[in-house]
Amino acid sequence: MWPAATAVVGIRSCARAPALRVVPALTRSIWLATSHPRPAPIHIASRLALSPSNGSTLPLARAFSNSIIRLDKTEPVKAAQSISSTAKDAIPTTSSEDKEATNTKEAATATTGSLASRLSARIRSLLQSQLAKSAPKSKDGASPAPTNFPDLKRLFSLAMPQKRNILIALALLLVSSSITLTVPFAIGRLIDFFTSGQNALFGLGFGTVAALMLLIFAIGAGAKAGSNILLELSGVRVIQGIRNQAYRSALRQDVELADKGAGDVVSRLSVDTNIVGESLTSDIGDGLRAGATVLFAGTAMFMISSKLTLLMMAVVPPAAIGAVFYGRYLRDLTHKTQDAVGQMTRLAEERLSPPAFRTLTAFNTQRQELRRFDGKIGSIVDLQTKEAYASGFFYAGTGFVGNCAILTLLTYGGHLVSRGEISVGDLTSLLMYTAYLGGGMVSLTSFFASLMKGLGAGARVFELIDRESNVALGKGETLSVSTTPARLPVRFEDVHFTYPSRPQQPILRGVTLDIEPGQSYALVGGSGAGKSSVHSLLLRFYDPVKGRILLAGQDLASYRPESVRKHLAFVPQEPILFDGTLEENIKYGTESATREEVEQAARMAGCESFIAEMPRGLDTVIGSRQLSGGQRQRIAIARALVRKPSILLLDEATSALDSASELMVNKAIEQIISEGKITVWIVAHRLSTIKSANNIQVLEKGKIVEQGTFEQLDRPGSRFRSLMAAQLEANAEPAEAEVDAQGESGKERTTALDKLHRLSALIPPSTPEEREKLKRELSVMLRLVRGVLPADQPESKGEGIVDARPLSTHDNAWSVTLDTLEPEKEESKIEETQKEGTAVLDRETLLAKVDGSRKYHEYFVVDRT
Ligand SMILES: Nc1ncnc2c1ncn2[C@@H]1O[C@H](COP(=O)(O)OP(=O)(O)OP(=O)(O)O)[C@@H](O)[C@H]1O
């Protein structure tokens, strides 16, 4: 408010003519119109303001300004040195003027030299501590990672695609600003015209002048509209360009980025890009307008009264130094604030994701979550509080400096008017130009501050854009294949692996294995053994830290990742569906698939029945969580099948399926396996799934400890058997009450059948009590098997009922046949079978007892060594 307030005092002190009464109000309204609510790069002002006045100050201003520009670059300490050396250069000039003539030049140099070096050290330490504080902490919180702020050139390069529009907008802006800036001059002349009683103004009649001015103002308004529209539109396009660039970069990253959570990336894409785009377009417009205002107003003032102008300009350098430090502080603060916003977004996004939201609702952890979120907001508020204090003090300071300047103008200006050195009109123009200058400088500070904010946010955007992926897309040789599906042997050779986020935790410690084309493999191991990690390495989500993976005899890392992934299909543990139709979801990644191919894949994956129940079949739109877990898995399997891959990777792909669906999917997989065209590599816990593979690999403690066929591995003392036994024990815990409660309803039957699957490979108990328990269970199962067979079941192989393979090849094993479990014979038969060694029940025999008309060709076996 300084120009308006002090204008009153100034005008009163030199009031001569009635027309002057209008000046304070006029000054105030013009100042309000030109001032900006936000701060300004006084360094530019200082350069401009100082330039015409004093030859010796021009280099200083330039050097200072250059130092400030260097501050924006990535070398803050060098910039600090530069600033201090600029200050050092400045001190001899000013101090030598003030010194007594008796002072020797050496003494002055020594004094100023030590002052300058102290100043230099102080600035350097300030900047270093600021940088250290603002730099994001590393994961362990120990050592801060240095922040690389982009230089202005890099920042401006983002606006290059809109260069033409921006330049036109800026040219229009200069036209409109120039017109606005002639107003104080015209008013000064008008005041002199009215107070002097002349007949002509600029040699023209008043009416003509007024009409001309109206025309000029209209042109100014048009130019302003044009520049505003063009800048806004350029801003939108620039933001669009930055977002595209950043998103493209995000999509090309390796999965490590996603492991950290998407929230931070999302906030970079949304908030940071916005800040950068704004600072490159509308803020640049504001800045240029303000710069032109300051330049024009300063020059005009200088022409009206150089003495007065120079006197006023003395206040600029301290304000400029303040602006530099404020700007820099703001830039670091913005970077930190944006980081904090990123963390908050990450938390909110994670917690509001459908599965997380269900969990927090079910566990009543809303308060706890709110506290956690509050903590995140708290750190943002802390940073914003610092910003509030910084801007409060800064603006108070610049306001104070401005008031001092206007006071000087009015006091000394009034004096000059009273001495007749300048006219009242001149003083009025000066006063108005001061208001313009003040407003312009405030706007410049605002522009400077937003540019600094842009740099802070830009650093985060560039971090994303520049992030190098370890597994770079588009780099490497194209994997060329002669057949479809391609026959691609895989070999892991002494592969060691740790996740980048946990380099101290080895996951694989020398895995060596072979995958032959057209074969099927099951990778088994305890939870957390690293099975999924093995698949991740083949998919090149990560690269091994040691050893190598060979694909078709060549290092996997030498291929273009996309060309390898084209031949792989992957069904993850937790399949992801996207918003869209079922067909779109199945075709995801295989856009060329026809409707028939989609339908066939859906059929093979066992999706047919539930798709048929959907209102629009394959065209039904689904959200990411609008299907059951088992349905999602089946869609994901269909998605993999429609791809017709060379290698099909299934990671617990049937874990969420019930037995009937699992059986259906397993049959589809078995069919694929039997065709021998596609290599199938399964990660599984369930025996029924594992057994469908020709080869089994057992992963333990980061190594493959056993591999072979099921028959080879299912032997006493094998790691595989103990692994299976441990899992089965954990799963098969039948209780009498539960068994009784099962009845024969479809759902319960399915549950019991699931248990039956597991029991088909159970190691029978050795103690009489446990054997008792097993007998009870098997007898219930027998009842269930009878119950589950529909009366109209055609003569068949028992499809869709029970999945169990012949295990008759097992040496030294024994089995309890279900027919031994007919109530009256149970006890004796078990004993008997134990003595006999291996005996197998074929279902045909079993079911012949149940219903002589049916034939079944599969077996239930209870295996025991
Ligand atoms: N993105 C990751 N970053 C860091 N560590 C990870 C990551 N993913 C998995 N791990 C760790 O790597 C180890 C192996 O995990 P992996 O998922 O490969 O095991 P798994 O054998 O597939 O387990 P499960 O059978 O339970 O799915 C685990 O200890 C796990 O904590």
pLDDT tens track for 606-640: 888 888 888 888 899 887 677 887 788 889 989 99
Name the residue with the closest Cα to ligand 1, atom 4: 499
d(CA 784, CA 778): 9
Check whether 335 has a pLDDT greater than 90.
no
Question: Picking from 275-284, 395-404, 814-823, which range would have the lowest pLDDT averaged per residue?
Answer: 814-823
Q: Would you say the CB of residue 499 lies under 6 angstroms from ligand 1?
A: yes
| CA 683 – ligand 1 centroid, Å | 13
Query: Contact 488/567 with Cβ under 8 angstroms?
Result: yes
| CA 161 – ligand 1 centroid, Å | 44
Q: Would you say the CB of residue 502 lies under 6 angstroms from ligand 1?
A: yes
d(CA 147, CA 75): 11
Name the residue with the closest Cα to ligand 1, atom 17: 532
Q: Which residue has the higher pLDDT, 168 or 333?
A: 168
Helices 76-98, 57-71: inter-axial angle, 10-degree rounding:
160
Cα–Cα nearest to 579, from 617, 611, 624: 624
Q: Which residue has the higher pLDDT, 311 or 863?
A: 311
Q: Mapping DSSP to helix (H, G, I), strand (E, B) and coil, where does residue 1 land?
A: coil
Q: Would you say the CB of residue 531 lies under 6 angstroms from ligand 1?
A: yes
Q: What is the pLDDT of residues 770-802, one digit of tens each?
A: 666 666 665 555 554 444 444 344 333 333 233
Domain extents for the chain? 148-303+445-472, 306-421, 490-729
Percent of the chain with pLDDT over 90: 11
d(CA 228, CA 223): 9
When pLDDT is averaged across residues 422-445 and rounded to a whole number, the result is 81
Q: Would you say the CB of residue 529 lies under 6 angstroms from ligand 1?
A: yes
Residue entry with tokens 């403690």: 701
Q: Mapping DSSP to helix (H, G, I), strand (E, B) and coil, where does residue 632 land?
A: helix
Residue entry with tokens 């029945």: 609
Query: Contact 410/12 with Cβ under 8 angstroms?
Result: no
Cα–Cα nearest to 181, from 406, 445, 440, 442: 440
Tokens representing residue 794 in the block: 């055609």
Q: Would you say the CB of residue 701 lies under 6 angstroms from ligand 1?
A: no
Q: How confident is the model at residue 49 (pLDDT cuts 50, 70, 90)?
A: very low
Q: What is the pLDDT of residues 263-307, one digit of tens each?
A: 778 878 888 888 888 777 777 778 888 888 888 888 888 888 887
Enumerate the β-bridge partners of residue 706. 698
When pLDDT is averaged across residues 676-682 and rounded to a whole number, the result is 87
Residue entry with tokens 């407003």: 439
Enumerate the β-bridge partners of residue 358. none
User: Average pLDDT over the chain, rounded to whole?
Assistant: 68
Q: How confident is the model at residue 440 (pLDDT cuts 50, 70, 90)?
A: confident
Cα–Cα nearest to 373, from 335, 399, 402, 340: 340
Same fold for the pair 148-303+445-472 and 490-729: no
| CA 494 – ligand 1 centroid, Å | 19
Pocket test for ligand 1, best of 256, 499, 727 (most atoms within 8 A of CB): 499
Residue entry with tokens 């740790």: 498
Name the residue with the closest Cα to ligand 1, atom 23: 528
Q: What is the pLDDT of residues 160-185, one digit of tens each?
A: 888 898 889 888 988 888 888 788 88
Q: So what's the pLDDT on residue 533?
A: 93
Check whether 445 has a pLDDT greater than 90.
no
CA of 536, closest atom in ligand 1: 18
Pocket test for ligand 1, best of 256, 507, 539, 571 (most atoms within 8 A of CB): 507
CATH of domain 490-729: 3.40.50.300
Check whether 534 has a pLDDT greater than 90.
yes
Taking the model in full, what pTM does it have?
Answer: 0.58
Q: So what's the pLDDT on residue 591?
A: 85
Q: So what's the pLDDT on residue 653?
A: 76
Q: So what's the pLDDT on residue 512?
A: 93
d(CA 219, CA 207): 19
How many CB atoms lie under 10 A from the CB of residue 656?
Answer: 18
Half-sphere exposure at residue 245, Cβ-oriented, CA atoms within 13 angstroms: 20
Q: So what's the pLDDT on residue 544?
A: 94
| CA 532 – ligand 1 centroid, Å | 7
Q: Rounded to 10 degrees, what is the CA torsion of 293, 295, 298, 302?
A: -140
Q: So what's the pLDDT on residue 778?
A: 58
d(CA 168, CA 641): 55
Q: So what's the pLDDT on residue 728?
A: 54
Q: Is 148-303+445-472 a domain of CATH 3.10.180.10?
A: no
When pLDDT is averaged across residues 354-361 and rounded to a whole number, the result is 74
Q: How confident is the model at residue 85 (pLDDT cuts 50, 70, 90)?
A: very low
Name the residue with the closest Cα to ligand 1, atom 10: 499
| ipTM for this prediction | 0.96
Tell me the one-letter amino acid at 504.
Answer: Q
d(CA 73, CA 67): 10
Tokens representing residue 527 in the block: 């939870």
Q: So what's the pLDDT on residue 377?
A: 87
Q: Which residue has the higher pLDDT, 154 or 316?
A: 154
Percent of the chain with pLDDT over 70: 64
d(CA 544, CA 495): 6
Q: How confident is the model at residue 45 (pLDDT cuts 50, 70, 90)?
A: very low
| CA 500 – ligand 1 centroid, Å | 12
Query: Contact 757/845 with Cβ under 8 angstroms?
Result: no
Check whether 498 has a pLDDT greater than 90.
yes
Is beta strand 695-700 parallel, antiparallel or unpaired with respect to 703-708? antiparallel
**826-846 as b/e, with b when 16 or more CB fall inside 10 Å?**
beebbeebeeeebbbbbbbeb
Q: Which spans in 477-594 are helix H?
A: 531-538, 561-565, 582-587
Query: Contact 843/798 with Cβ under 8 angstroms?
Result: yes
When pLDDT is averaged across residues 468-496 and rounded to a whole number, the result is 84
Q: So what's the pLDDT on residue 841?
A: 44
Check whether 400 has a pLDDT greater than 90.
no
Q: What is the pLDDT of residues 237-273, one digit of tens each?
A: 888 888 888 888 888 888 877 777 677 788 788 888 8
Query: Contact 211/255 with Cβ under 8 angstroms?
Result: no
Tell me the one-letter amino acid at 551.
Answer: L
Q: So what's the pLDDT on residue 522?
A: 92
| CA 263 – ligand 1 centroid, Å | 22
| CA 202 – ligand 1 centroid, Å | 85
d(CA 599, CA 618): 8
Q: How confident is the model at residue 531 (pLDDT cuts 50, 70, 90)?
A: very high
Pocket test for ligand 1, best of 257, 508, 533, 539 (most atoms within 8 A of CB): 533
Tokens representing residue 111 in the block: 């004094």
d(CA 577, CA 354): 13
Tokens representing residue 177 in the block: 């600003």
When pLDDT is averaged across residues 337-352 and rounded to a whole number, the result is 82
Whether the link from the prior residue into 92 is cis, omega within 30° of 0, is no
Question: What does the angle CA 430 – CA 434 – CA 438 come to, to the nearest 5 degrees?
Answer: 175
In 741-835 the beta strands, taken as DSSP E runs, fall at: none
DSSP structural state of residue 182: T
| CA 528 – ligand 1 centroid, Å | 5
| CA 814 – ligand 1 centroid, Å | 37
Q: Would you say the CB of residue 530 lies under 6 angstroms from ligand 1?
A: yes
Name the residue with the closest Cα to ligand 1, atom 6: 499
Q: So what's the pLDDT on residue 765?
A: 55
CA of 685, closest atom in ligand 1: 25
Q: So what's the pLDDT on residue 490?
A: 93
Q: What is the pLDDT of residues 537-558, one digit of tens each?
A: 999 999 999 999 999 889 999 9
Query: Contact 521/502 with Cβ under 8 angstroms?
Result: no
DSSP structural state of residue 508: E
